[in-house]
């Protein structure tokens, strides 16, 4: 098992050059820079990221527990995994660790860019329990995606997670594989996109990949605040529709149904349960089948996909989740006063109620 503090240091090393204390003022509004721009005068946050609207940190401080759900060592594979024809434990683990480094970096970058003074701890799935929560006292928990099918995980890992997620009262966001783990813990099953059990089709699966549209089914949920307020005169016209998200997809599995106690928030063509929430007096659990963490991926290392602009909706969902987590914990004082109003004032236009509704 990886040491959670060592894991945090590893994930944070990719952000050693990130600075949240640099900013510049334009027209009386505060714009945060991603890097120290002293060698590039005049370049500010929004020029390196979303060109359609400003990105303003609305949260002063938050403590986030980031859970690495990918396999960390050979002993975490199941007996089923050892019988797979291509099972090479050392190679499998190396690939998992590489994918983990990318996934955690993207999630952590969202937190660091959307919060002025974030405190982040990374913990592996094998170490996630109430003792960790009591020790760190997080305001929110974010679950990473996964790589392998869940029957290839040692059953003890999933049993431990099920006990934790069903009992925790800390707000949770599960992403992709994290979304599927939450569904499993609350009684759903996992199927391929064409309705097979994962073991029936390990390879050659139908996948949902690249930017896709999903339809919001519960627009009144606070996590969608501001989603429809797109700057219409600049926004990409094909996304200028109400109640529609354009999000990054990369998965070949899905939940077979909405788990009991959850409300569906968004649906898609290939995967019906694209987003859901469990909301009660003691629990707030959001999860998305799609990836909402791509906005701050280093765009200079991936010049094919325009994540910084295409992932606008995902960024807003991530930001709104952190806001809702603080509200759920009764820690509204950590939200920047007037943050929402500042964002609205900086937007030059809105899609407004006259935008067409989605057709699916």
| pLDDT tier at 343, thresholds 50, 70, 90 | very low
Separation between Cα atoms, residue 276 and residue 321, nearest integer Å: 12
| pLDDT tier at 298, thresholds 50, 70, 90 | low
| Alpha carbon separation from 356 to 120, 239, 240 (Å, rounded) | 40, 10, 8
The confidence score (pLDDT) of residue 2 equals: 34
Which segment of 124-133, 210-219, 259-268, 296-305 scores lowest on mean pLDDT?
A: 296-305
In a domain, 18, yes or no: no
Q: Which residues contact 220 (CB under 8 A, 6 or more apart)?
A: none
Averaged pLDDT for residues 152-168: 98
Averaged pLDDT for residues 90-101: 96
Counting residues of the chain whose pLDDT is more than 70, the rounded percentage is 73
> What is the Cβ-side half-sphere exposure of residue 106, based on CA atoms within 13 angstroms?
26
Which segment of 96-110, 155-169, 230-244, 286-300 scores lowest on mean pLDDT?
A: 230-244
Paired tokens of 211: 């930017």
| Alpha carbon separation from 54 to 73, 308, 334, 345 (Å, rounded) | 42, 12, 21, 10
**What pLDDT digit, counting tens, does each position of 53-85 carry?**
778 899 999 999 999 999 999 999 999 999 999
Query: At 210, which helix (H) or strand (E)?
Result: strand 208-216
Paired tokens of 314: 């995902």
Work out the angle at residue 189's Cα, subtended by the Cα atoms of residues 183 and 192, and round it to the nearest 5 degrees: 110
| 237, pLDDT greater than 70 | no
CA dihedral 273, 68, 336, 39 (to 10 degrees): -120
Q: What is the mean pLDDT of the chain?
A: 81
Separation between Cα atoms, residue 111 and residue 137, nearest integer Å: 17
What pTM did the predictor assign? 0.82
| pLDDT tier at 244, thresholds 50, 70, 90 | confident
Q: Which CATH number does the domain housing residue 223 bear? A: 3.40.50.880
In a domain, 265, yes or no: yes
In a domain, 163, yes or no: yes
Beta pairing partners, 264: 276
Separation between Cα atoms, residue 176 and residue 190, nearest integer Å: 12
| 232, pLDDT greater than 70 | no
The confidence score (pLDDT) of residue 199 equals: 96
In a domain, 67, yes or no: yes
Our measurement of the distance from residue 78's CA atom to the centroid of its chain's CA atoms, rounded to an integer in Å, reads 27
Domain count, the chain: 1
- Tracing tokens 């392998």 back to the chain, one arrives at 148
| 20, pLDDT greater than 60 | no
Averaged pLDDT for residues 37-55: 52
Work out the angle at residue 334's Cα, subtended by the Cα atoms of residues 330 and 338, and round it to the nearest 5 degrees: 105
- Is pLDDT larger for residue 53 or for residue 238? 53
In a domain, 111, yes or no: yes
Paired tokens of 332: 């509204």
Which segment of 30-39, 202-211, 292-301 scores lowest on mean pLDDT?
A: 30-39
| 256, pLDDT greater than 80 | yes
In a domain, 105, yes or no: yes
In a domain, 31, yes or no: no
The confidence score (pLDDT) of residue 248 equals: 84
| Alpha carbon separation from 50 to 17, 182, 236, 268, 294 (Å, rounded) | 20, 31, 12, 25, 12
104 phi and psi angles, rounded to 5 deg: -65, -35
| 360, pLDDT greater than 50 | no
- Is pLDDT larger for residue 218 or for residue 337? 218
Q: What's the domain range around 54? A: 49-346
In a domain, 226, yes or no: yes
Query: Shortest CA distance to 32 belongs to which of 93, 118, 90, 126?
Result: 118
């Amino acid at each position: 098992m990886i040491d959670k503090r060592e894991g945090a240091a590893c994930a944070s090393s990719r952000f050693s050059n990130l600075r949240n204390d640099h900013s510049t003022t334009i027209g009386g509004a505060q714009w945060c820079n991603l890097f120290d721009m002293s060698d590039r005068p005049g370049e500010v946050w929004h020029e390196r990221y979303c060109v359609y609207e400003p990105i303003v940190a609305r949260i002063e401080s938050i403590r986030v527990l980031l859970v690495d759900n990918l396999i960390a060592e050979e002993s975490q594979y199941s007996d089923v995994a050892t019988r797979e024809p291509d099972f090479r434990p050392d190679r499998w683990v190396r690939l998992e660790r590489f994918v983990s480094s990318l996934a955690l970096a993207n999630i952590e970058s969202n937190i660091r860019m959307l919060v002025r003074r974030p405190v982040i701890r990374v913990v592996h799935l094998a170490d996630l329990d109430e003792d960790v929560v009591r020790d760190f006292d997080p305001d929110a928990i974010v679950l990473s995606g996964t790589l392998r099918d869940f029957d290839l995980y040692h059953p003890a890992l999933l049993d431990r997670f099920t006990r934790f997620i069903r009992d925790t009262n800390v707000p949770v966001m599960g992403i992709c594989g994290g979304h599927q783990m939450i569904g499993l813990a609350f009684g759903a099953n996992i199927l391929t996109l064409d309705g097979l059990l994962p073991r029936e089709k390990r390879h050659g699966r139908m996948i949902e990949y690249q930017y896709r549209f999903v339809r919001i089914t519960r627009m009144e949920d606070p996590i969608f605040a501001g989603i429809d307020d797109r700057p219409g005169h600049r926004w990409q016209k094909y996304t200028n529709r109400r109640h529609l998200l354009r999000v990054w997809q990369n998965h070949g599995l899905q939940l077979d149904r909405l788990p009991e106690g959850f409300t569906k928030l968004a649906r898609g063509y290939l995967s019906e349960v694209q987003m859901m929430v469990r909301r009660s007096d003691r629990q707030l659990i959001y999860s998305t089948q799609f990836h909402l963490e791509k906005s701050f991926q280093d765009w200079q290392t991936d010049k094919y996909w325009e994540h910084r602009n295409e992932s606008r909706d995902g960024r807003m969902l991530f930001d709104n989740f952190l806001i809702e987590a603080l509200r759920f914990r009764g820690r509204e004082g950590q939200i920047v006063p007037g943050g929402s109003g500042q964002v609205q004032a900086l937007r030059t236009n809105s899609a407004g109620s006259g935008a067409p509704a989605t057709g699916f």
